Structure 1
Amino acid sequence: MTTARTATPSTARAINDRLALNLLLEQGPLTATELRDLTGLSRPTVADLLERLQRTGLVAVVGERGEQRRGPNARLYALVASRAHLAAVDVRSGGVSLVVADLAGQALATAELAVEGDGDDGTAERIVRTLHDTARRAGVERLHTVAVGAPGLVDPATGRLHSTGALPGWHTELLAALRELPGTDVILENEVNLAGRAEYRIGAAQGRDTFVLIWLGHSVGAAVVLDGRLRRGASGGTGEICFLPVPGTSGLPSAVGCEEGFHGLVGSAAVCALARAHGLPADAADDAAAAEAAVRGAVDALGGGEPGGAFLDELAARIAVGAAAVCVVLDPGCVVLGGEIGRAGGAELAGRVERRLAGLSPLRTEVRAGTAGGGAVLAGAVLTAGDAVRRDLFGEP
């Protein structure tokens, strides 16, 4: 028989502190009375924890709130967001986007740095210098945690980045340079997983503990969240659906190339080619931006006698093939379409995919358009870094 153990006074204080800090983070400045009502804690306990958190520098009095009673106004307590700072970095083949934020996740400064071709020996150093400059511009001297989103497999055991394609060498050099920053923790995550975390916390998948994000951009990937947990797999390869063998391609994918896999149907080059086949304009660059513009143009042209509807129907049929393969294995109940193409297609494309999917699988699956926006990877990285900082400062398990 297992006997429940009573929490020690120090454990109880830590739990109460975390509860109060999270409420201040989520709901903004609160009075002691409001904290008592929200936590169910006694007046002396709330007074004690507020005094203790003020001593640590995590909470401060930021004003007063008048109440309909006699006596002095109630003090307003708030989380000190400047107590720690974090950064998020979205690494792509053509450069990086980054943001420096406070403990509450509020962006303080942003920057972008383009990298031509495969970069050079100084690329990683320039990016780190840009991060330093951005932090200084925000008045930040030290970054507690940096979360990095990058394409490729992130080994859950070692944290090392492994490429499934031809990623430039500066990617691994940048990670090594960031990990040398004194007093800064670095978290590496696959970029689609970060976008999935953003959709889960602040986007289209809010309220869903189980869903799959299908990322449709230059290439194709997926983030899998089951029972509220992001799943990475034994080697970090969960969601590498660009390699999924599907009908409609001229061959099969290989261990070193996904051109004949699902990527060959719905990657940006395939989407641009499909648009041109339907008489729609599509930039010859065939990159994610060109595919986004083609899909957005098709949506905007609906109802105007343009062939946008036929193009969207065929694109939806292609996406549904890969989505059906994922759904009959995982039964997520919800698929979110993200990335540049998913974002451009919006509800029009999502609705078409859902109808096609219903004809391919007996499993009821809702398809939603992603709402975390074009900065979903950065947003997910900010959330990830913020969680890590709070675990450290708040003592969260």
Structure 2
Amino acid sequence: MSRLAGSSKLLRAMNESAALELLLDPGMLTRADLRRITALSTPTISELLRRLTAAGLITVVGHDSGRPGPAAEIYAADPDAAYTVAVSIRETGTSGNPSVAAALCDLTGTIRATVETHVDFLGADPVSTVAGVVTRLRKRAGVEAGRIRHVQLGVPGSYDPRSETIRLTDVPGFGRPGLVPRIAEALGTRVGADNDVNLAAVAERRRGAGREAENFALLWIGQDGLGLAIDINGTLLRGTRGGAGEIGYVPLYSPDSPHRKIDLQDLFGGPAIMELARDHGIAGETPAAVVAAGSEEFLAVLADRVVVGLAAVTAILDPYLIVLAGPIAQAGGEALLTAVTSAFGRAAPLECSITVTAIEGDAVLLGALDAGLKAVREVLVAAIRAG
């Protein structure tokens, strides 16, 4: 292939991808709209629409008669052209068992169905469990199995794509090498996997405070674990083996026992928060509950602990913004944010804006849908290009 031909093919692929994104986002556009937005020529726009229509990705949804000349055809993405499924393996809750939450969305990102169930993974096969949840979900939505083009897993652990292994996970069975390809084989579709906190950052970038940030770090304070996601200009830093951001394992030494090694998880992870609450006479069944009910003094002590982690992140990364996320951060809300901001100002001569996520619902699941939908669109455009 000549360099000119290769450049032409790349340009065509970029045009098709851009046109599809435009039709998926605003929803309904005419040829004139696309020409105005993209500055492409009329013949190029017509060819793009022909190819996208032939591929079944867009369709004519109406006519615009409000301008001179023949009524212009209005195009929009066909929502049923492809579907994405997100599956979030949540950390253990008060039941003692992890829960699985899943959602299915169409090509426009509209959620068609959701399911949630508690699972005892000690007595279950992860492949069968995930496949069963996906089957239940698509049946609820009335979608054929072949229309699901991508399943995105969010896992409490790090995913190493080179060895296809989920590492640093406490969910029984999910650390088996080759698990993700086995799930893909069982479902008959593409399956991606990523750390749950990374996916929460994907949602933050698209839906939350991350939209306005050049770069940001998301500190996840969960009921059990801690995690950090690092977004650099819209690209997540995952590390060589997918382990970037496993901040809970950063070693520290207790001032009271300098020879006893502890880590950040021992400082402000879920169990540590419960112990701190007992010391302050605050009752509650979960870390989120005690933080929500916490006194000003309790939150001040907790904030001092959180800032140990934030100071390290800021000193190394110097992010534009730090987002506090996860059940603990959301339970603490503005009161915790105020305490953390104050503690951060006292801790070190560092500067960084800090906020609490405003994303409602399951940020991991929403981020998994966003990531899965992006993968589906890329595959569809690649298929058009190959055709």
Given candidates 261, 269, 272, the residue that maps to 1:270 is 272
TM-score, structure 2 as length reference:
0.88
Q: Which residue identity is paired with 1:54?
A: T
- Closer, same or farther: CA 251–174 of 1 in aligned 2, 3 Å: farther
Tell me by how many angstroms 1:138 deviates.
1.2
Match of 1:137 in 2: 140
Tell me by how many angstroms 1:7 deviates.
6.5
Match of 1:103 in 2: 107
Superposed, 1:125-164 pairs within 5 Å as: 125-141=128-144, 142=146, 143-163=148-168
Tell me by how many angstroms 1:253 deviates.
11
Measured in 2, the distance between the counterparts of 1:249 and 1:291 equals 24
Match of 1:352 in 2: 339
Q: Which runs of 5+ in 1 are unaligned?
A: 284-289, 299-307
Match of 1:22 in 2: 21
Match of 1:382 in 2: 369
The yes-or-no answer on 1:293 pairing with 2:289 is yes
- Closer, same or farther: CA 333–70 of 1 in aligned 2, 3 Å: closer
TM-score, structure 1 as length reference:
0.86
Q: Which residue identity is paired with 1:282?
A: G
Q: Specify the SS of the correspondent of 1:270.
A: helix
Superposed, 1:97-246 pairs within 5 Å as: 97-116=101-120, 118-122=121-125, 124-141=127-144, 142=146, 143-163=148-168, 166-169=170-173, 172=176, 175=180, 177-181=182-186, 183-217=188-222, 218-246=224-252
Tell me by how many angstroms 1:354 deviates.
2.2
Measured in 2, the distance between the counterparts of 1:46 and 1:136 equals 37
Aligned positions, number: 372
Tell me by how many angstroms 1:54 deviates.
0.9
Q: Give CA deviations for 1:162-202 in whole Å, capped at 9, x if unaligned.
A: 225x4312564964641223540111111111111111121
Measured in 2, the distance between the counterparts of 1:156 and 1:177 equals 14
Tell me by how many angstroms 1:377 deviates.
0.8
Q: Specify the SS of the correspondent of 2:349.
A: coil
Tell me by how many angstroms 1:153 deviates.
2.3
Measured in 2, the distance between the counterparts of 1:198 and 1:78 equals 24
Tell me by how many angstroms 1:234 deviates.
2.3
2:218/2:228 contact within 8 Å kept: yes
Tell me by how many angstroms 1:330 deviates.
1.1
Q: Specify the SS of the correspondent of 2:40.
A: coil
- Closer, same or farther: CA 182–262 of 1 in aligned 2, 3 Å: closer
Q: Give CA deviations for 1:196-253 in whole Å, capped at 9, x if unaligned.
A: 1111121221122321111001111111122332111222221111112345576689
- Closer, same or farther: CA 240–10 of 1 in aligned 2, 3 Å: closer
- Closer, same or farther: CA 175–364 of 1 in aligned 2, 3 Å: same
Q: Specify the SS of the correspondent of 1:44.
A: helix
The yes-or-no answer on 1:340 pairing with 2:336 is no
Q: CA RMSD in A?
A: 2.6
Measured in 1, the distance between the counterparts of 2:259 and 2:42 equals 64
Tell me by how many angstroms 1:40 deviates.
0.9
Measured in 2, the distance between the counterparts of 1:228 and 1:125 equals 34
Match of 1:319 in 2: 306
1:276/1:282 contact within 8 Å kept: no
Measured in 2, the distance between the counterparts of 1:275 and 1:266 equals 11
Measured in 2, the distance between the counterparts of 1:339 and 1:367 equals 15
Q: Give CA deviations for 1:85-119 in whole Å, capped at 9, x if unaligned.
A: 11111113512111111122221111112113x43
1:153/1:163 contact within 8 Å kept: yes
Tell me by how many angstroms 1:31 deviates.
1.7
1:243/1:253 contact within 8 Å kept: no
The yes-or-no answer on 1:260 pairing with 2:247 is no
Tell me by how many angstroms 1:5 deviates.
6.0
Q: Which runs of 5+ in 2 are unaligned?
A: 93-97
Tell me by how many angstroms 1:146 deviates.
0.7
